[in-house]
Amino acid sequence: MKVRRFGVSLEEDLLEKLDSLVEKHAFPNRSQAIRYLIRNALVEESWQSDSEVAGVIVLIYDHHRRNVVNRLLDIQHDYTPIIMSSQHAHLDHDSCLETIVLKGRASMIVELADALIAIKGIKHGKLVISGSE
DSSP character at residue 91: -
Tell me the C-alpha distance between 107 and 112, whole Å.
Answer: 9
Cα 98 to Cα 7, 17, 80, 88: the distances in Å are: 45, 37, 16, 5
Tell me the C-alpha distance between 4 and 51, whole Å.
Answer: 27
Closest Cα to residue 109, out of 76, 133, 73?
76
pLDDT for the residue 63 = 87
* CATH of region 52-131: 3.30.70.1150
Tell me the C-alpha distance between 124 and 119, whole Å.
Answer: 10
Share of the chain above pLDDT 90, in %: 74
What are the pLDDT digits (tens) for 30-89? Answer: 999 999 998 888 888 877 888 899 999 999 999 898 899 999 999 999 999 999 999 999
pTM score, whole prediction: 0.78
Query: What's the average model confidence in pLDDT over 17-34?
Result: 93
